[in-house]
Structure 1
Amino acid sequence: MTDRRHHLPAWFTGVAPLPGILLLYFAVPLRPPDTSVHLGVSVLLTLIGISLVAAVIIREAKGLSSGDERHITVVHLVALVEVAMVTFALAYYTMAIHSQQQMSGIRTRLDALYFSATTTTTVGYGDIHPIGQLARGLATVQVSFDVVFVAALAGLIGRTLRER
């Protein structure tokens, strides 16, 4: 009997989860927390999530430098950066709905995602910005994360070009 399973292209399996990540971002139920403990837990979970994404990227960068054959693809890194952007956006949105003293200009989830994307790309239009110490600290963590991500992506692209 012939195997009739269709194999999807690798780029498609890497890109397919991207819309799902955005749908999940907009679907996660959030409400203004009753106490600052909720805000602290939210920020802590954000930092844990970002630490996990950063650990994967750092592991892959080390694998690239040591010549490890098993490495992540550019498509996978794009998915990881989307997860990171969405995670940061959730934290910014949570801060905005909890306290008007943390973020200026965030009123919706799209505002938070927009701020996270402009921070990731280092565009920074200035229409939305952190004003509280917690928000500024989180934005600093995001900028630092983005530098590590860009370095890992550049290394991966360089290796891919050398292999071809």
Structure 2
Amino acid sequence: MVAAYFLLPLDSLGPHRPAVSWSVFLVSVGVVAVLLLRQITAVTLERRDTRPGLVIPLLMCLSVLVFAAAYYGLAKQPGEFAGLRTRLDALYFTLVTLATIGFGDITPQGQGARFVTMLQILFNFVFLTAAATSLTRHVRGRVGERHGRRGGPGDQPR
């Protein structure tokens, strides 16, 4: 996925094609959100026909790359970002925002950049937190099964 991020023709998106750029971004975020919700539901319902241990981490990585691609496209518009020029800068800013570090070396200045940054923060709080919680629940359940007991939220460590 990371190789695809660096190889995809993202330069065809940006300020010269705003309708297409925003549509691709919003659809991508929506698809990742729906797929994450399906995995979260599968873990909550303890469905055995899914593989959340594989799918959730991949979707989490994909969400980071979708936001990085959006930031890279927005950075092509003058006045949107200060300090963001390359794909690596965009990936770095996405991870710094995800980790809530905020070094301040790259800052969203335009309305579009601030909107996407706020959307990423909300996405992180809602979807990635729920996905990480579900993944932890799934892994604990699997470990509990292998040790001859059922792992659940009420289980206490021995």
Compute the TM-score of the two structures, normalised by the length of structure 1: 0.77
Note if contact 2:15-2:73 (Cα within 8 Å) is conserved in structure 1: no
**Structure 1 residue aligned with 2:152:** none
- String of CA shifts for 1:92-113, please: whole Å, max 9, x gaps: 111111x121112101110001
Q: TM-score, normalised by structure 2?
A: 0.80
Alignment of 1:157 onto 2:144? no
What percent of counterpart residues are identical? 30
Query: Runs of 5+ in structure 2 lacking a partner?
Result: 145-158
Residue number in structure 2 paired with 1:25: 5
The residue aligned with 2:120 is 142
- C-alpha distance after superposition, 1:124-163 (max 9, x if no partner): 2221121111111111111111121122211221232134
Secondary structure in structure 2 of the residue aligned to 1:26: helix
Segments of structure 1 that go 5 or more residues without pairing to the other structure are: 1-20
| Equivalence for 1:120 | 98
What is the Cα deviation at residue 36 of structure 1? 4.2
Distance 1:158 1:95 in 2: 37
Asked if 2 retains the 8 angstrom alpha-carbon contact of 1:63 and 1:71, the reply is: yes
Give the partner amino acid of 1:70.
D
Post-superposition offset of 1:83? 1.2
**Is residue 2:89 matched to residue 1:111?**
yes
Q: Distance in 2 between matches of 1:71 and 1:31?
A: 36
Secondary structure, in 3 states, of the residue corresponding to 2:11?
A: coil
TM superposition shift of 1:76 = 2.3
Map of 1:67-146 to 2, 5 A cutoff?
Answer: 67-97=46-76, 99-146=77-124
Taking the aligned partners of 2:137 and 2:129, their CA distance within structure 1 comes to 12
CA distance in 2, matches of 1:135, 1:125: 17
Query: 1:56 is matched with which residue: 35, 51, 76?
Result: 35
Counterpart of 1:45 (choices 16, 24, 27) is: 24
TM superposition outliers: structure 1 runs of 4+ over 3 Å: 30-33
Instruction: Look up the SS of the partner of 2:17 in the other structure.
Output: helix
CA RMSD in angstroms comes to 2.0
Amino acid at match of 2:78: Q
Structure 1 residues 4-62: Cα deviation after superposition (integer angstroms, max 9, x where no partner): xxxxxxxxxxxxxxxxx1111111224376x8461232122111111111101111112
How many residues end up aligned between the 2 structures? 142
What's the offset of the Cα at 1:63? 2.0
Quick one: which amino acid aligns to residue 25 of structure 1? Y
